[in-house]
Amino acid sequence: MTHAMCTANASGTALQMAAAASRPNKKTSLPELLNKLPWNAEREKQREARRLRLESAKLHRELGIAPDATFEEITDATNVLIARVGGDVKKRVKIEIAKDKIMQIRLNERLA
């Protein structure tokens, strides 16, 4: 290939890429429209609620507490686990994050 052919091919590719970028992407715009339909919006709410329930159950298992544990029980379990891991900073942070997520989920449930 000559240099002129490579340059022409590269500029043609650049033009094709620019044209493709200017066209609306149907894959992203169509689902956005469908998500606004009432039955899809309700289904999405149900999916989100299920995801939060599953995440909450996982976090409660990590801390070894019941799903209906009080704030004091959560705090006590967190302190016991932190004392058990000792100086392992990564495990300590993981326990603190689990506690914070449980508290955030409970707050969101109360506000909803």
The secondary structure of 35-73, three-state, reads HCCHHHHHHHHHHHHHHHHHHHHHHHHHHCCCCCCCHHH
pTM: 0.61
- pLDDT at position 80, please? 95
- pLDDT at position 108, please? 87
Classify the C-alpha dihedral 68-70-71-74 as positive or negative.
negative
Look at phi and psi of residue 64 and say left if phi exceeds 0, alpha if psi is from -120 to 50, else beta: left
- pLDDT at position 72, please? 95
- pLDDT at position 36, please? 77
Low-confidence ranges of the chain (pLDDT < 70): 1-30
Look at phi and psi of residue 56 and say left if phi exceeds 0, alpha if psi is from -120 to 50, else beta: alpha
Alpha-carbon distance of 43 to 38, in angstroms, equals 9
- pLDDT at position 26, please? 47
- pLDDT at position 30, please? 65
